[in-house]
Amino acid sequence: MTLFSNAFPLFIAGLAVVVSGFALRSYWENLESKFSRVWLSFSLGIIFWLISELIWALYTLIFDIKTPYPSVADIYRFVGYGFLFFAIFTYVELFRPVISKRIVAIASVFVLPTSVGIIPPLLLSISTRASAMNLATLLVDLAYPLFDLSLLAQAMLGLLIFTMTELKGKMGSVWLLINAGIIMNVFGDILFSYANLQNTYYSGHPLELFFHLGYLFFLLSFYTHTKKL
């Protein structure tokens, strides 16, 4: 189970890198092109996540560290978030003129309650064990949901652009898949934080399925995008 738990993320993340690479090749013009920078950033984001998975596997399989958290793997994961946020933000900015106050309000109605439902309970759980945790663990536990929610806020705008404006139907399925991928990471990160706080996480834990599904949805979104445009 430990071998599969560490090998499968490398496989599914590697597939996502390959598909994002094909998309980048399809859309690449030059660095001056915003659309080219979008797909370069998507590819780099997934590549950094793949490197993070590789480092985690090395810690677990080679150095026999059961739960390497926090570790260097998290640094690569965070860098990947930065590239993905830039990709999604820049993509959405291309269609900024069609974003109405109504769309912003609908996105806020979805994201804000999600944030309220996630952040305070996590803070409460962390506060009950703060004395037994080091500062790095505290910061990383808080960083993941914040990064996830930042991605989700932008991705929701992308979904609404292609489902509620004159652009409806053109890329709606792509952004639905991107949102699904981010939401899977939201669930995975929150459950991992709780399991880690309770010392119940182990390699091969069922919560890892959320991360696997996240890669799958990103992979499908990249593939679908190349078929629609």
pLDDT band (50, 70, 90) for residue 120: confident
Domain boundaries, the chain: 2-228
Over the stretch 163-191, which tens digit does the pLDDT of each residue have? 999 988 879 999 999 999 999 999 999 99
Rounded to two decimals, what is the model's pTM?
Answer: 0.94
Query: If DSSP states are collapsed to H, E and C, what string results for the chain?
Result: CHHHHHHHHHHHHHHHHHHHHHHHHHHCCCCCCHHHHHHHHHHHHHHHHHHHHHHHHHHHHHCCCCCCCCCHHHHHHHHHHHHHHHHHHHHHHCCHHHCCHHHHHHHHHHHHHHHHHHHHHHHHHHHHCHHHCCHHHHHHHHHHHHHHHHHHHHHHHHHHHHHHCCCCCCCHHHHHHHHHHHHHHHHHHHHHHHHHHCCCCCCCCCCHHHHHHHHHHHHHHHHHHHHHC
pLDDT band (50, 70, 90) for residue 142: confident
